[in-house]
């Protein structure tokens, strides 16, 4: 999961997002700039969403929001509860603003919840909330064992986590299974 | 602390689908375009609706007059235009409005068939972009009109280009235009990054002119536009566009009473009877010829004008 973060002021938000396992971009060099140059497509095509701290908006924030609105890119707009960006909020409360643009007034106690809700809306949190608690015995070949040992050592991940990760990726790719689940 | 919002004049000369092709239709369209309202205080003026190929003298003069009348009231100007003739008209107005200390940004809708050569995953993204029509480019154009930049430019895809040093190509991406022999004025990556050679805002007073010669014929053998087919004897000037290194055979068929501009990729023999457009893009050469012909009909004087660099065209 990759998000672009921008603010005109210092904030704990990027650190909080990174702690949640999100790949957070904050500067141009984080992106694949040559892809942007070659195709002419917006940098937003390379991220899953944006988080903008809009307590003290500038021209750049308005520009990013304009792009997000046009492309319906999931965007979380956060502002401090005692620091309303009045003019910007007037636009963000317009009925034509797409539902992908979420606006929240936050305090130190509510910030994490709003971020978590946003990440959940992007499909991230569901998996993290599930704790593996079902025992499953799997007999493997020596070749597979050798590979798992090598992988665990080189990627600094334990073998069980690695296998769970592989299967989770297969689940996400399996449209038939996911469609079947939605019907239930 | 609230930042100061820029005031932008949007001059509409085609490129979108308005509810009605008039000022009221434009205002309704702009009112619904919340993205640009968020970015700046945008006022809109309707000039023309239709293909770029039909934008003529009347429309160009109206554009000049709108910018002249409103120059002190706005921080920047955005002009929309159909894709056809965009290069020529933006180049021509670059000669007619000189030394602007504010940005004058031209833009248009993305190319319909840009997806032709694209790979499958990118094709899907391009299709999405094409349905957004002119809006994607217009957001970037309005942003360009708010930053510390001055003079004419074209905003297309993710590039900011100097019209008189821009060429058109049909690649597999949304950057239909590219800079010729210089680097882009700016790029859109995260926001707009201006090149060091881009002009910055200033308090200089621009010069405005409405004078240019329209009655110029183009001879282009590659398109079958031979002298016999094109020339009427009434034209005020002639442009020969030829891939041949030596267009002498064409010159022999032309009555040389009017100024003749030669645009060719190869070397041509210097002659007192012709003006060379070497070092120019074709549209810049054509635009400069039209502008210069309003000042003088003398081939000798036109040769001097074409050797001088006025707005970065060579």
- Domains of chain B, by residue range, sit at 7-208, 216-307
- Mean pLDDT, chain A, whole residue set: 86
Q: Are residues A120 and A145 in the same domain?
A: no
What the block records as the tokens of B284 is: 């810049």
Has this prediction a pTM greater than 0.90? no
- The answer to whether B135 contacts chain A (CB < 8 Å) is yes
**B216-219 β-sheet, strand order:** B216-219, B237-242, B260-264, B275-276
In this prediction, residues A34-51 reach a mean pLDDT of: 80
Q: Are residues A46 and A118 in the same domain?
A: yes
A142-155 and A159-173 helices, crossing angle to 10°:
100
The Cα A37–Cα B202 span in angstroms is 29
Query: Count of domains in chain A?
Result: 2
- Residues in chain A with CB shorter than 8 Å from the CB of B122 are 39, 41
The residue of chain A nearest to residue B36, with distances taken between CA atoms, is A66
What the block records as the tokens of B45 is: 């003026």
Q: Are residues A120 and A135 in the same domain?
A: no
For every one of its 314 residues, what pLDDT tens digit does chain B have, with 9 covering 90 and above? 567 899 999 999 998 888 999 999 999 999 989 999 999 999 999 999 999 999 999 999 999 999 999 999 999 999 999 989 999 999 999 999 999 999 999 999 876 544 445 555 555 555 555 556 689 899 999 999 999 999 999 998 888 999 999 998 765 556 778 898 888 999 887 788 899 999 999 999 999 999 999 999 999 988 889 888 999 989 999 999 987 656 777 788 887 789 999 998 767 777 888 999 989 999 999 999 999 999 999 999 999 999 999 999 99
- The answer to whether B39 contacts chain A (CB < 8 Å) is yes
pLDDT at B2: 64
Q: Are residues A108 and A165 in the same domain?
A: no
Inter-chain Cβ pairs, chain A and chain B, closer than 8 A:
84
- The answer to whether B6 contacts chain A (CB < 8 Å) is yes
The Cα A65–Cα A72 span in angstroms is 10
Q: Are residues A66 and A96 in the same domain?
A: yes
Please state the length of chain A: 184
The Cα B112–Cα B174 span in angstroms is 10
CB nearest A66 (choices: B36, B122, B128):
B36
Q: Which of B113, B107, B141, B108 is nearest to B127 (CA)?
A: B113
- Residues in chain B with CB shorter than 8 Å from the CB of A75 are none
Q: Are residues A113 and A143 in the same domain?
A: no
**pLDDT band for position A123 (50/70/90)?**
confident
The Cα B173–Cα B171 span in angstroms is 5
Q: Are residues A102 and A123 in the same domain?
A: yes
Q: Are residues A135 and A70 in the same domain?
A: no
- Pair type for strands B186-189 and B159-161: antiparallel
Report CB contact under 8 Å: A60, B191. yes
Cβ–Cβ < 8 Å for B238, B215: no
**pLDDT band for position A86 (50/70/90)?**
very high
Q: How far is CA B280 from the centre of its chain?
A: 14
- Pair type for strands B237-242 and B186-189: unpaired
Q: Are residues A76 and A155 in the same domain?
A: no
- The answer to whether B157 contacts chain A (CB < 8 Å) is yes
- Tell me how close the Cα of B271 comes to any Cα of chain A, in angstroms: 42
- Pair type for strands A23-25 and A2-7: parallel
Pick the CATH number of B7-208 from 1.10.1740.10, 3.40.50.1170, 3.90.1260.10, 3.30.360.10: 3.40.50.1170
Least confident of A110-119, A128-137, B187-196: A128-137
- Pair type for strands B186-189 and B191-194: antiparallel
Q: Percent of chain A beyond pLDDT 70?
A: 91
Report CB contact under 8 Å: B191, A27. no
- The answer to whether B174 contacts chain A (CB < 8 Å) is yes
**Which of these three, A101, A127, A153, is where a domain ends?**
A127
Q: Are residues A123 and A139 in the same domain?
A: no
pLDDT at B113: 47
Q: Which of B192, B147, B131 is nearest to A43 (CA)?
A: B192
Beta bridge partners of B97: B208
Report CB contact under 8 Å: B174, A40. yes
Q: Are residues A118 and A68 in the same domain?
A: yes
Report CB contact under 8 Å: B38, A69. yes
Q: Which of A66, A84, A85 to mutate to test the interface with B (most CBs of B within 10 A)?
A: A66
CA distances from B10 to A54, A60, B13, B29 (A): 27, 20, 10, 12
Asked if the model's pLDDT at residue A183 lies above 70, the reply is no
Cβ–Cβ < 8 Å for A149, A141: no
- The answer to whether B36 contacts chain A (CB < 8 Å) is yes
φ and ψ of B7, to 5 deg: -105, 125
pLDDT at B244: 66
- Residues from A contacting B (CB-CB < 8 Å) are 4, 27-28, 31, 33, 36-43, 45, 56-60, 62-63, 65-67, 69-71, 87-88, 91, 94, 96-97
A175-183 and A159-173 helices, crossing angle to 10°:
80
Report CB contact under 8 Å: B122, A39. yes
Count of CB atoms situated within 10 Å of the CB of B149: 21
- DSSP 3-state assignment of A53? strand
pLDDT at A177: 85
- The answer to whether B182 contacts chain A (CB < 8 Å) is no
Q: Are residues A114 and A136 in the same domain?
A: no
The residue of chain B nearest to residue A28, with distances taken between CA atoms, is B190
**pLDDT band for position A21 (50/70/90)?**
confident
- Residues in chain A with CB shorter than 8 Å from the CB of B128 are 71
Q: Which of A26, A36, A62, A103 to mutate to test the interface with B (most CBs of B within 10 A)?
A: A62
- Tell me how close the Cα of B21 comes to any Cα of chain A, in angstroms: 23
- Residues in chain B with CB shorter than 8 Å from the CB of A47 are none
Domain range for A154 is 131-183
């Amino acid at each position: 999961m990759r998000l672009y973060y921008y603010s005109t002021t210092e904030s704990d938000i990027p650190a909080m997002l990174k702690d949640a396992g999100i790949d957070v971009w904050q500067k141009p060099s984080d992106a694949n700039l040559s892809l942007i140059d070659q195709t002419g497509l917006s940098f937003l095509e390379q991220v899953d969403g944006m988080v903008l701290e809009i307590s003290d908006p500038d021209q750049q924030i308005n520009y990013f929001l304009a792009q997000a609105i046009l492309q319906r890119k999931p965007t979380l707009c956060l502002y401090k509860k005692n620091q309303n960006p009045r003019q910007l909020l007037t636009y963000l409360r317009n009925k034509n603003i797409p539902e992908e643009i979420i606006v929240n007034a936050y305090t130190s106690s509510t910030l994490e919840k709003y971020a978590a809700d946003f990440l959940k809306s992007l499909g991230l949190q569901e998996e993290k909330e599930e704790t593996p608690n079902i025992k499953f015995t799997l007999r493997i070949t020596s070749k597979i064992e050798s590979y798992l040992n090598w992988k665990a050592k080189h990627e600094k991940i334990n073998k069980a986590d690695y296998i769970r990760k592989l299967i989770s990726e297969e689940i996400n790719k399996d449209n038939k299974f996911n469609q079947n689940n939605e019907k239930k | 602390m609230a930042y100061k919002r820029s005031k932008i004049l949007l001059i509409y000369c085609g490129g979108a689908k308005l509810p009605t092709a008039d000022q009221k239709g434009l205002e309704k369209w702009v009112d619904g375009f919340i993205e640009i309202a968020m970015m700046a205080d945008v006022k809109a003026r309707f000039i023309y609706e239709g293909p770029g190929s039909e934008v003529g003298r009347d429309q160009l003069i109206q554009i000049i007059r709108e910018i002249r009348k409103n120059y002190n009231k706005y921080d920047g100007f955005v002009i929309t235009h159909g894709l056809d003739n965009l290069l020529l008209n933006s180049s021509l107005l670059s000669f007619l409005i000189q030394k602007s200390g504010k940005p004058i940004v031209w833009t248009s809708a993305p190319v319909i068939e840009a997806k032709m050569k694209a790979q499958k995953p990118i094709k899907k993204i391009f299709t999405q972009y094409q349905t957004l029509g002119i809006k994607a480019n217009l957001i970037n154009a309005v942003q360009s009109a708010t930053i510390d930049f001055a003079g004419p430019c074209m905003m297309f895809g993710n590039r900011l280009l100097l019209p008189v040093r821009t060429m058109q190509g049909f690649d597999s991406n949304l950057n239909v235009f590219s800079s010729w022999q210089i680097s882009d004025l700016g790029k859109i990556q995260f926001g707009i990054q201006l090149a060091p050679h881009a002009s910055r805002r200033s308090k200089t007073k621009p010069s405005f002119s409405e004078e240019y010669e329209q009655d110029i014929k183009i001879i282009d053998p590659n398109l079958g536009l031979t002298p016999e087919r094109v020339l009427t004897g009434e034209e005020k000037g002639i442009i020969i566009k030829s891939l041949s290194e030596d267009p002498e055979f064409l010159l022999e068929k032309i009555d040389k009473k009017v100024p003749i501009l030669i645009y060719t990729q190869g070397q041509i023999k210097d002659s007192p009877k012709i003006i060379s457009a070497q070092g120019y893009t074709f549209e810049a050469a054509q635009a400069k010829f039209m502008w210069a012909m309003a000042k003088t009909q003398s081939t000798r004087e036109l040769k001097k004008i074409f050797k001088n660099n006025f707005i970065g065209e060579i």
